[in-house]
Amino acid sequence: MGLTARIQTRDGWAVSHAVVTVTDMTGTQVLRAEADADGAVRDATTLAPGAYTVIVTAVGYAPTASSAIVTASGRAEVGTVTLARQGGTELPPPGPWTVDPAHSTVGAVAQHLGISSVHGRFTDFTAAIEIAPDDVTKSRVEAVIRAASIDTGNGMRDNHLRSADFLDVEKHPEIIFRSTGLTASGADRWTVHGELTLHGVVRPVDLDLAYLGTGSDPWGGTRAAFRATTELRREDFAMNYNQVVQAGIAAIGTTLKVELDVQAVQGESLPQT
């Protein structure tokens, strides 16, 4: 066998569409092979002993080049080649991913009385991610949150938040986010551009997204982890209620910090958890 190699991402997942090209010292191409579904390259072409250059390319990834020595047996064992996303940024392998609500959190933090914070979360939501195979900036995210599932740990406060003063869940039962594009903002970091529908108002919102990595789970699936944040102004979504207490201090802050900790499972369905 002339050439063996395995092409993977930094998280160890196969790059199944990678192409390996081997050139001799004169720059002449002597072998070209494609990786299989497991990222493995196995080509039986017998190469003459000597030094060669091995170039690995894949759409969406930065190309790599390395040297290889072919022994008298005519074999070149390149080993594992790790490809980095084009531009130095990473996302999980392409295809559909389903957010696992049981292992994800949609949280929000508001200032209270100017001196402390109230933390809340939404407990009922669904979300799906589609990682584009060729141009990751065309990847898509859509999430639907049941507004009535707000939970701050205080029943009276939660009922007020569900009322017409704030979320008005009877008229606007769903909070919806749909992405419109991605922009790389650093290694493993992205800005997710999108539109948020909240309290019946649609506004452009950007999420600051960090990709935390990919790994196997105990149920035989593959999971990717993300953390995202953004800041919303209540008045942008027609939630203008407030109560002014002593010294002119507002009971509730005008901004809301949204914090998302997300686990997504590869595929369009979730395992039993």
Predicted confidence at residue 234, as pLDDT, reads 85
Domain co-membership, 106 together with 70 = no
Average pLDDT score, the chain: 86
All residues at 6 or more sequence positions from 115 whose CB lies less than 8 Å from its CB, including other chains = none
Judgement on whether residues 130 and 193 belong to the same structural domain of the protein: yes
Question: Is the predicted pLDDT of residue 222 greater than 80, yes or no?
Answer: yes
Q: Is the per-residue pLDDT at 235 higher than 90?
A: no
Domain boundary among 63, 84, 105: 84
- Number of domains forming the structure of the chain: 2
d(CA 225, CA 215): 9
More confident residue, 208 or 221: 208
Q: Which of the listed residues 84, 114, 149 is the one where a domain comes to its end?
A: 84
Please give the pLDDT value at position 106. Answer: 96
Q: Are residues 78 and 101 in the same domain?
A: no
In this structure, the answer to whether residues 163 and 239 fall within a common structural domain is yes
Residue 241 maps to which CATH number?
A: 2.40.128.110
User: Domain of 42: which CATH number?
Assistant: 2.60.40.1120
Specify which residues 56 forms β-bridges with: 20, 64
Range name among 18-22, 73-77, 109-113, 244-248 with the lowest pLDDT average: 244-248
Joined together, the tokens standing for residue 111 give 């200032």
pLDDT digit string, tens, across residues 45-76: 888 899 999 999 987 788 999 988 888 888 88
Domain shared by 235 and 255, yes or no: yes
Whether residues 113 and 192 fall in one domain:
yes
126 and 190: one domain?
A: yes
DSSP states of 45-68 as a string?
PPPPSEEEEEEEE-TTB--EEEEE
Confirm whether 62 is domain-assigned. Answer: yes
Whether residue 273 is contained in a domain is answered as: no
Q: Is the pTM higher than 0.85?
A: no
Whether 89 maps to a domain, the answer reads: no
- The whole domain housing 122 covers 95-266
Residue 251 has pLDDT above 80, yes or no: no
Per-residue pLDDT of 97-142, as tens digits, reads 999 999 999 999 886 534 457 889 999 999 999 999 878 889 999 9
143 and 225 in one domain?
Answer: yes
What is residue 114's three-state secondary structure? coil
Whether 77 maps to a domain, the answer reads yes
Angle at 85 between CA 81 and CA 87, to 5 degrees: 130
Q: Are residues 58 and 109 in the same domain?
A: no
Q: Do 14 and 138 belong to one domain? A: no
Confirm whether 79 is domain-assigned: yes
195 & 65 share domain: no
Higher pLDDT, 83 or 196: 196
Both 17 and 43 in a single domain?
A: yes
